Amino acid sequence: MIKVGIVGGTGYTGVELLRLLAAHPQVALQVITSRADAGTPVNRMFPSLRGYVDIDFTHPDQARLEDCDLVFFATPNGIAMQQTRALLEAGVKVIDLAADFRIKDVAEWGKWYGMEHACPDLVAEAVYGLPEVNREQIRTARLVANPGCYPTAVQLGFIPLLGAGLIDPAHLIADAKSGVSGAGRKAEIPTLFSEASDNFKAYGVPGHRHLPEIRQGLARVHGNPVGLTFVPHLTPMIRGIHATLYGRLNADADLQALFEQRYANEPFVDVMPPGSHPETRSVRGANRCRIAVHRPQGGDTVVVLSVIDNLVKGAAGQAVQNMNLMFGLPETTALENVPLLP
């Protein structure tokens, strides 16, 4: 059994991790930390876990994380980098669901996240946890930077086109929409029900923290820097990301065949039939990305539609997928649940 600890178990990604790990046949949950709720039974805060998770939250100062085989950080940015070195030295593997280890340029990371990095040498070691790109490196990693939700949807949509050299890399557009759970489980005015419900708005147009992460990933595929305009939006739903991606074609090709071939052996990417329009509800609760590719009026613009559940393939599910790879388990273990509908 894999002895697992979770740092920051009271947020949406934390409880999603608990939901998935509670059904994992090779996982033993050892400790779940919370400063404010130490001593509270986990299933009292989250009644959906009654009968599945029967431990209490532990204060971080009392948590023996070094006794775990793997620790997930489901914490705000800047927390994991303070504790990861000691865990690695104790032989514990780490998956960070925040952004502490995603961006290789530490100065660029500091610019977007407003703090100095505590362990830049570990940033260089960390493997970016997008299995569809870095599967073999993840298998041997001791530190994985779990991708962000927007970056997962956007990269999976653009990768086949950039990899084949079929689109102009200088003029990429990602128009993405997210449910309010993407903002986390905290009380803030923009995500209050009366503010977010029956409303739709863009945000972060001058620059969003996920922009450098997306550009970094696409540049690795292309081999050179890319030009990307990324505009996120907040939608009045709880879960889901819908990314509409635009590129200018510079060569003719069978785009449907390109996507089908690129993802033919990927268990969690579903390339839909020609003419499809994937919906966020079709992936709700599942570790899956559904993609459709269009070429409107046969012109020189390609439109890719990419949908994920931001809490699963965009966060906790992808983290479990990475854990499975790191411990030599079948990649799909505990992740083959059918999406929820309606």
Catalytic residue among 68, 119, 149, 289: 149
Q: Which of 285, 188, 286, 202 is nearest to 244 (CA)?
A: 202
Question: Catalytic: 149?
Answer: yes
User: Contact at 8 Å (CB) between 255 and 157?
Assistant: no
Percentages helix, strand, coil for the chain (3-state, rounded to 5) are 35, 20, 40
Please state, in angstroms and rounded to a whole number, the distance separating the CA atoms of residues 306 and 280.
Answer: 9
Is residue 31 within a helix (H) or strand (E), and if so which, with residue range? strand 27-33
234 bridge partner residues: 178, 201
Residue keyed to tokens 């505990």: 334
Please state, in angstroms and rounded to a whole number, the distance separating the CA atoms of residues 32 and 16.
Answer: 13
φ/ψ (deg, to 5) at 231:
-125, 110
Supply the DSSP symbol for 58: E
CB atoms under 10 Å from CB of 157, counted, come to 26
Active site residues: 149
